[in-house]
Amino acid sequence: MIKTIFSGVQPSGNLHVGNYFGAIKQWVEMQNDYQCLFCVVDYHAITVKQDPEVLRRKIIETAKIYLASGIDPERSIIFQQSDVKEHTELAWILNCVSARMADLKKMTQFKDKAGEGQDNVSVGLFAYPVLMAADILLYNTDVVPVGDDQVQHVELCRDLGKRFNNLYGEVFKIPEVKIKKESARIMGLDDPQKKMSKSATSEWNYLGLTDEIEKAKKKIMKAVTDSGSEIIYDKANKPALANLLTIYSLASDRSIKDLEKEFIGKGYGDFKKGLAETMATFLISFQEKYSKIKDNDVKEILYSGAEKARIIAQNKIEEVRKKIGVLS
Ligand code: AQP
């Protein structure tokens, strides 16, 4: 039987090469072998403050990025999370019957995002991994392709699904996580100790898929580097260069060894110029596809995607409602 994958991106900022190489590129490759659902997880985005006008635009932009990357709406279901109400319904049920405060307190992403002010962030930010578990469990998902930062959340999803099944009998399929080792964690251009993040306070942190080409080049030229001048991959001692080499390798489809060879005897300046040009070529080609996609076409794709997703989600929620004892 054909297996199902589910994954999503929050429309919470400018999607970057970390989102692309860490997650979306894998999705494109998996379309041939799986039944795929790719969601624009807008209810995740509102766990932190959003400007409604900007959010509306980002939802369209995120779906456009899926399409420009090669997600094919004829083969894959692309939809907006808030269009399928069963996500929030299941999240509430899981909040009550499966999730425990202790589970959520362990989530490192919550600790990172809330920082010192844990008492003043939204309850939604704390509970968001439960909504993510609901997103996944609703669709009998077999595999969840994500970047490294989401692995802990998928593990929690597995635990919540198993706990529900133990209490009420087999209802949920327990999914596996899938990460692409070489691109699982792209680090910030301004700080190689922190992951590249679309909601970073500084735009010099990320390389956006829709960044103007000259700006993208500037970001690369300004990216922090390490001491020394040799171009070698050494994650422990040269983390910034290791990150840039990873991005270079992913954008050019060349091995890191091959790149190291090319830059023997050359310094960071030449290396960055090479990366800036490679990235420009990658972004020009991506943005050409992106700019041809019309907002209205995206809206139609999201609408019909939600109709298809809803059929699967409604079946699962009916099963859940029966099990927990509410009248249908
Ligand atoms: N730096 C990264 N390297 C590799 N993969 C990454 N992903 C995110 N950042 C990196 C993967 O992209 C997918 C979508 O991410 P998300 O929208 O769920 O947001 P996130 O994981 O919280 O990361 P972001 O993009 O930095 O968003 P903000 O700043 O809004 O929190 C996921 O599969 C993620 O692993």
What confidence tier does 116 reach under pLDDT thresholds 50, 70, 90? confident
The pLDDT assigned to 274 comes to 98
Six token digits for residue 268: 């960071």
**169 plus 243 within the same structural domain:** no
Name the pTM for this structure.
0.96
**250 plus 104 within the same structural domain:** no
DSSP-derived secondary structure letter, 7: E
C-beta of residue 316 within 8 angstroms of C-beta of residue 328? no
The span from the CA of 222 to the CA of 216, in Å, is 10
Looking at the structure of the chain, the number of domains it has is 2
**99 plus 172 within the same structural domain:** yes
Look at residue 228 and tell me whether its pLDDT is greater than 80: yes
For 307-323, what is the mean pLDDT?
98
Torsion of CA 158, 143, 171, 306, to 10 degrees: 120
The pLDDT assigned to 289 comes to 98
Strand order in the sheet with 76-80: 76-80, 34-40, 3-9, 143-145, 176-178
C-beta of residue 133 within 8 angstroms of C-beta of residue 94? yes
The span from the CA of 168 to the CA of 185, in Å, is 37
The pLDDT assigned to 184 comes to 86
- Residues forming the active site: 113, 195, 198
Six token digits for residue 139: 């669709």
Six token digits for residue 143: 């595999």
Instruction: Give percent of the chain with pLDDT exceeding 70.
Output: 100
Atom index in ligand 1 nearest the CA of residue 150 equals 35
The span from the CA of 28 to the CA of 292, in Å, is 19
Is there an atom of ligand 1 within 6 Å of 197 CB? yes
The pLDDT assigned to 328 comes to 76
**223 plus 258 within the same structural domain:** yes
Angle at which helices 52-69 and 268-291 pack, to 10 degrees?
A: 100
Comparing CA positions, the residue from 101, 88, 16 lying closest to residue 46 is 88
- The verdict on residue 320 lying in a domain is yes
Q: Indicate the top mutation candidate among 9, 55, 183, 209 to test ligand 1's pocket, ranked by most ligand atoms within 8 A of CB.
A: 9
Residues of the domain holding 236 = 203-290
Q: Residue 247 maps to which CATH number?
A: 1.10.240.10
Comparing CA positions, the residue from 122, 143, 136 lying closest to residue 94 is 136
The span from the CA of 146 to the CA of 181, in Å, is 11
Atom index in ligand 1 nearest the CA of residue 199 equals 29
Mean pLDDT, the chain, as a whole number?
96
**69 plus 89 within the same structural domain:** yes
